Amino acid sequence: MKKIFVLVLAVLMTSAFAQQGQGWGRGHGMMLRKLDLTKEQLAKIEDLRTAHQKNMIDLRADLKKLQISKRDMLEKGNLDRKDFLALEEKITKAQGNIRLAMANHKMDVYGILTAEQKDKLAKMTSNFLEARGNGPHGRAINREHRLSRNYDCPFNK
């Protein structure tokens, strides 16, 4: 189960950077290059990426419209509980649609890889995650690492 999670996470990260308009993204493009993708795989991934980006534009636009509606509702004041909660449900559903589209895209890309490439990706992802640390956004240094250094820091006690 952990192995599948790590693989999905790697593909998620790759796609997330690609969506930001930075090609394959910083660092993660290196991961893809190290997988020795064939020309056919690269072409399929690029087609998936293009279709996904177009879909994401529509999904994000839908979400933005709902957020604008919420802002307008809040600015008018005198909120109706039923209407406000209905709008919040729509916003939550739109956010879920975005997350689901991203997950589907990642799995589509992952499905193009061979078994050997998937294994290689799993190892690279595991190394990447270890290097980042265990905390939010990779900023945390695990306790053992902190304690192994002789910092004069109150948090080491």
Q: How confident is the model at residue 20 (pLDDT cuts 50, 70, 90)?
A: very low
**Residue 122 within a domain:** yes
Q: Report the C-alpha gap between 21 and 126 in whole angstroms.
A: 25
* 140 in any annotated domain: no
Return the minimum-mean-pLDDT range out of 15-24, 26-35, 91-100, 101-110.
Answer: 15-24
Angle at 87 between CA 98 and CA 74, to 5 degrees: 115
- Give the Cα separation of 103 and 151 in Å (integer): 41
Q: How many residues does the chain have?
A: 157
Task: Assess if residue 119 is contained within a domain.
Answer: yes
Q: What is the DSSP string of the chain?
A: -HHHHHHHHHHHHHHHHHHTTSTT-TTHHHHHHHTT--HHHHHHHHHHHHHHHHHHHHHHHHHHHHHHHHHHHHHH-S--HHHHHHHHHHHHHHHHHHHHHHHHHHHHHHHHS-HHHHHHHHHHHHHHHHHH-SSGGG----HHHHHHS----GGG-
- Name every residue whose Cβ is closer than 8 Å to that of residue 37 and which is 6 or more positions away in sequence: 45, 113, 117
User: For 115-153, what is each residue's pLDDT tens digit?
Assistant: 999 999 888 888 777 776 655 555 544 545 545 555 555
The CATH number of the domain where 122 resides is what? 1.20.120
> Which range marks the domain in which residue 30 is found?
2-132
Q: Is residue 49 a part of any domain in this protein?
A: yes
Indicate the pTM of the whole model.
0.64
CA triplet 14, 117, 54: central angle to 5 degrees?
35
Give domain status of residue 104, yes or no: yes
**pLDDT band at 39; cut points 50, 70, 90:** very high
> Is the pLDDT score of 113 beyond 60?
yes
Q: Would 22 be classed as within a structural domain?
A: yes
Q: pLDDT tens-digit profile of 40-83?
A: 999 999 999 999 999 999 999 999 999 999 999 999 988 999 99
What integer pLDDT is reported at residue 133 of this predicted model? Answer: 66
Model pLDDT, residue 125: 81
Report if residue 155 sits inside a domain.
no
Domain count, the chain: 1
Determine, yes or no, domain membership for 32. Answer: yes
pLDDT tens digits along 90-105 = 999 999 999 999 999 9
